[in-house]
A and B are shown apart, each in its own frame.
Chain A
Amino acid sequence: MKVTYNWLKDFVEIKLSPGALADKLTMAGLEVTALAEADADFVFEIEVTSNRPDWLSVIGIAREVAAITGKKLNLPKPPGHPVIRSSGHPSFVIKIQDKKDCSLYTAKIIRDIKVGPSPDWLRRRLELVGCRSINNIVDITNYIMFAWGEPLHAFDLDTLHQNTIIVRRAKSNEKITTIDGELRILSPDILVIADKERPVAIAGVMGGKDTEVSESTKNVLLEAAIFNPVIVRRVRQKLGLQSESAYRFERGIDLGIIERASWQAAELIQEIGDGRCILAKSAGQAQVKKKTINFNTKLVPKILAAEIKPTKIKDILNNLGFKVNASAKNNLKVRIPSHRPDVNLEMDLIEEIARIYGYERIPNTLPALTPQISRGEKRELVSLIKNILVGLGLNEAITYSLVDKDLMRKFDIALTNAIEILNPLSSEQEILRPTLIPSLTQRIAYNLNQKQVYINIFEIANIFTQSDSQPEEELALGLALGGTRTSLSDEGLLKQEVGFLHLKGIVEVLLERLGISNYNFKNQAKTQELALYIGQEKIGAMLSLARETLENLDIKNKEVFITQISLDKLFSHVDLKKRFVPLPVYPAITRDISLTLKEDILIDNLLETIQLSGRPLLREVKIIDYYKGQQIPAGCRGLTISCVYRSDERTLTQEEINPVHSLITQALVDKFNAKIR
């Protein structure tokens, strides 16, 4: 909302400079976002919050200036009602179809006007506040709207048929060309002003082209009315049509000043455009609710912690236009004026007092806080997991929860249970993602494009699915690796293509660190993924993305390994309790076994057999070397396994170990056809 310094001075004495005034307004809640000098005046651009429709007028802001500076608001004297000579004019009829849509419609007929350009002062003021000058009559209606906050409209009286105004809902497919030249198709949820034959204006929003005031207009019908804010809002939603007038109706206009503003306009029209006002009619009634709040002044120190004297409280409220009467000790009866629909509770008065007194003058205190020992375990676990992964060298990504269906299709993800968005801005916001995998892969593709060689990222976020027609959110962890790892050591540059085992290694370290040891991986041939189970519960899966999928994202000649784990499921298995295990007292004996065996034999089975054969003296078994190559026959691989033996009761001797070790090697030969080297 724009107002000018001089225009404000019409209504309140201002001694402050424009800059100083701007500061005071900002600190009282009317944020001045721009102040510019123009045309021997200063233009303030003010951000008006949606609860203060009364600030959408110069008088409304002048009232604030008066309250802030302790001056009086000077409203012009209400114009005397002209003598109405109703003889010689046919009677005029106003019909309101539903008073819920329009509670009051007033019309004034002004005859024998001369339409022409507006006087300079009027034109310049309108232009300063961003309104284009049209002609003297239209300009006056706009001028009064900006000054008083009451939207007015002027019709060319002779274009209205049969001296009738009907305020009604439009019929389906009724049409009107509005003053901006656009043809609008109407419907029954839109309110129109109509004569006996057709709609002549969209009520409260915009007038029709063929009833507008032009150079040829001789007689004018001046409308001032109250339209239901919800109805006016509908026009914006359905037709996408907005105007200064609609803006004000939507937020609520001051029911108490309609007639006054209308007479002010009529007087100006007669002054500037000649003419005589010969008829004033109205239908309906402005229901101005009388609001009174019983205000306990003890609330002020209680809520604000500021000792404001009761006389000061009364002054502030009075200056704002509230009528205050003391009713009992510490109790004020406060009458709320019609331009303040936002004030209904004692707390609303507290805000008025605080902002005029000055938020800056209210002290800063600290409340007594009772610390809550609520553990928020889930969040702490998430934090722990993030830190473990960062320690393992991974980088945290945050990607969008909304994705387009096309991306899901590239990954062959079924969309049957996907949750769709009703009003996306683009196809990229079509659905809530049921998996993190495509988003993370996109990030890998992006980074590969930026010539990154090694990408290792993770994200912890919700994934969304529809189950039993109820949307569900589940917290998931996604990990993705791609590219080539390089490290420089004193033996030169080591390059390592990212492989499945790197991903598996990270997952294993993470699970172990969370105290989970009963996990296992199961190959799922159908979906080409490796499922991760904890006990019998599947909590996630790991996969290597297919070449076609990667090429769809412009990833060529690179592999991407990715896993998604349900954290909600994982959390129930986490065990962070630590229990001390006494350190070994007696030394261990380590014996290695080097062997060759067929590659298709799973390491898991091998280790299991060794552990079973070596009990109870065998404490640890580890693969310490692994080779394929010239000395190994085709289809086989060589392994070196380290066996660590220890007893809790005595130092073991080689003699005790030998038979156990032989048992193990024999088992390997018997069961797996291993060749011991």
Chain B
Amino acid sequence: MSNLDLEAINKTIDSEIEQINSPEKLEEFRLKYLARKGILAQLTSSIPSLPAEQRATFGQQVNILKTRITALIAEKQKTFIAQPGRKVTSQVDISMPGIAQDLGHLHPLTQVMDEICAIFTKMGFCIVEGPEIETEYNNFTGLNIPLEHPSRDVFDTFYLKDKNRLLLRSHTSPVQIRAMKARKPPLAVVVPGRVYRPDAVDASHSFMFHQIEGFMVDTNIRFSDLKGVLEVFAKAVFGRDIRMRFRPHFFPFTEPSAEVDISCIICKGKGCSVCGRKGWLEILGSGMIHPNVFEHVGYDPKKYTGFAFGLGVERIAMLKYGIDDIRLFFEDDLRFLKQF
């Protein structure tokens, strides 16, 4: 190899590189000149066969050539990065919708139940579930609801065609009886689940819906603890700005009993159609567990006290999301489900 060849090479690489229009051809070019047995390597290995006084200069020129070729390759490389690999001629229209697989959606009732249960598990409650088919004892008698009394009428139930007077539970409270019988205090439990009441179906009633029951039993649980725990819950679900009030009420299985209202989240307490112009929305029933219930499960009411509360999941979801018709939850219209 001689200087002439170096000059010839210098001239050809420019026109060669100009003709390169694909990464594959660029790679061929690179291998031709820069590979282990490529042209520049051959040039370098020819140095010892040169006259001594020419060696240094030749070596330098080979190096300059090498640098130039590397630079040309790098520059050419840049033009390829700007274009997609396959179709060098077309560009991506970035205003087109992205390509991805759609995520599915959890049912809004599941989301609300998970959120509510999480608030309580963070406080130390554990989640327990119970059967949908229940005994009259667990659904009524054990909860101090006498079978022949008007207080029973609110809890109208579906009975099974069964000789043992089995029924579909009308609230999740029967699990109080089950849990207290199966365990020993202290207890802090939340119970989510489906319940059934023979109500005519309309925009605010459904014969099947969901409730979450919660209760705590220990040696020194107080009414003030009930208020405190429910305040934490209500503010976690509806925001810290809401006001709350506890109103005396009646449930056969709690004494004292209270209904819990929050300031209307729509009108902020001024009065609107959602809150019936009262400014307050009722969200929970609660109270201290009635001593008779403790007697039924075998806890000494002189030693133990506890509180219990229950809420309707559909109602909370409807308030939280502004849903106006309970039937939407069970129609499962995809246009509804995909909003959550």
Query: Is A396 part of the contact surface with B, judged by Cβ < 8 Å?
Result: yes
Q: How far is A359 from B225 in the complex, measured between Cα atoms in Å?
A: 13
B251 to chain A, nearest CB (A): 9
Residues of A within 8 A of B224 (CB): 304-306, 362-365
Query: Is B271 part of the contact surface with A, judged by Cβ < 8 Å?
Result: no
B229 touches A362 (CB 8 A): no
B186 touches A424 (CB 8 A): no
A246 to chain B, nearest CB (A): 11
B249 touches A29 (CB 8 A): yes
B335 touches A450 (CB 8 A): yes
Binary per-residue interface labels of chain A (371-388) against chain B in the complex, 1 for a CB within 8 Å, 0 otherwise: 110101011000100110
Residues of B within 8 A of A554 (CB): none
CB < 8 Å neighbour of A369 from B124, B148, B158: B124
B228 touches A365 (CB 8 A): yes
Residues of A within 8 A of B136 (CB): none
Query: Is B211 part of the contact surface with A, judged by Cβ < 8 Å?
Result: no
Q: Please, which residue of chain B has its CB at the minimum distance from the CB of A386?
A: B106
Given A379-B127, A429-B158, A489-B99, A364-B231 contact (CB < 8 Å)? yes
B96 touches A490 (CB 8 A): yes
Query: Is B275 part of the contact surface with A, judged by Cβ < 8 Å?
Result: no
Q: Chain A: interface residue count, which band?
A: 35 or more
Q: How far is A301 from B212 in the complex, measured between Cα atoms in Å?
A: 30
A355 touches B248 (CB 8 A): yes
Kindly identify, within residues 137 to 154 of chain B, every residue whose CB is under 8 Å from any CB belonging to chain A: 148-151, 153-154
Q: How far is A398 from B196 in the complex, measured between Cα atoms in Å?
A: 14
A456 touches B104 (CB 8 A): yes
Given A345-B255, A398-B330, A354-B99 contact (CB < 8 Å)? no
Given A351-B255, A360-B245, A374-B159 contact (CB < 8 Å)? no
Kindly identify, within residues 191 to 221 of chain A, every residue whose CB is under 8 Å from any CB belonging to chain B: none
Kindly identify, within residues 168 to 189 of chain A, every residue whose CB is under 8 Å from any CB belonging to chain B: none
Q: Please, which residue of chain A has its CB at the minimum distance from the CB of B149?
A: A50
Residues of B within 8 A of A233 (CB): 148, 150
Kindly identify, within residues 403 to 458 of chain A, every residue whose CB is under 8 Å from any CB belonging to chain B: 419-425, 429, 432, 443, 446-447, 450, 452, 455-457
Residues of A within 8 A of B198 (CB): 423-425, 429
B245 touches A367 (CB 8 A): no
A351 touches B257 (CB 8 A): yes
Q: Please, which residue of chain A has its CB at the minimum distance from the CB of B107?
A: A396
Residues of B within 8 A of A378 (CB): 129
Given A400-B208, A473-B132, A367-B338 contact (CB < 8 Å)? no
Choose, from B2-10, B51-59, B67-75, B215-223, the stretch at the interface: B215-223
Residues of A within 8 A of B148 (CB): 229-230, 233
A471 touches B337 (CB 8 A): no
B247 touches A26 (CB 8 A): yes
Kindly identify, within residues 109 to 148 of chain B, every residue whose CB is under 8 Å from any CB belonging to chain A: 109-110, 114, 123-129, 131-133, 148
Query: Is B178 part of the contact surface with A, judged by Cβ < 8 Å?
Result: no
Query: Is A31 part of the contact surface with B, judged by Cβ < 8 Å?
Result: yes
Query: Is B160 part of the contact surface with A, judged by Cβ < 8 Å?
Result: yes
Binary per-residue interface labels of chain A (1-45) against chain B in the complex, 1 for a CB within 8 Å, 0 otherwise: 000000000000000000000000011110100000000000000
What 8 A-B pairs come out closest when comparing CB atoms? A29-B248, A369-B124, A351-B256, A49-B250, A305-B224, A355-B248, A397-B332, A371-B124
Measuring CB to CB, which residues of chain B are less than 8 angstroms from any residue of chain A? 92, 96-97, 99, 101-107, 109-110, 114, 123-129, 131-133, 148-151, 153-154, 158-162, 166, 168, 186-188, 194, 196, 198-200, 207-208, 216, 218, 220-225, 227-229, 231-232, 245-250, 252, 255-258, 288, 290-291, 305, 329-335, 337-338
Identify 6 residue pairs between A and B in the complex whose beta-carbon atoms are under 8 Å apart, listed by A's number: A303-B223, A305-B222, A363-B228, A393-B103, A432-B168, A457-B334
Measuring CB to CB, which residues of chain A are less than 8 angstroms from any residue of chain B? 26-29, 31, 49-52, 229-230, 233, 250-251, 302-306, 345, 347-348, 350-351, 354-355, 359-360, 362-372, 374, 376, 378-379, 383, 386-387, 389-402, 419-425, 429, 432, 443, 446-447, 450, 452, 455-457, 461-462, 464, 471, 473, 487-490
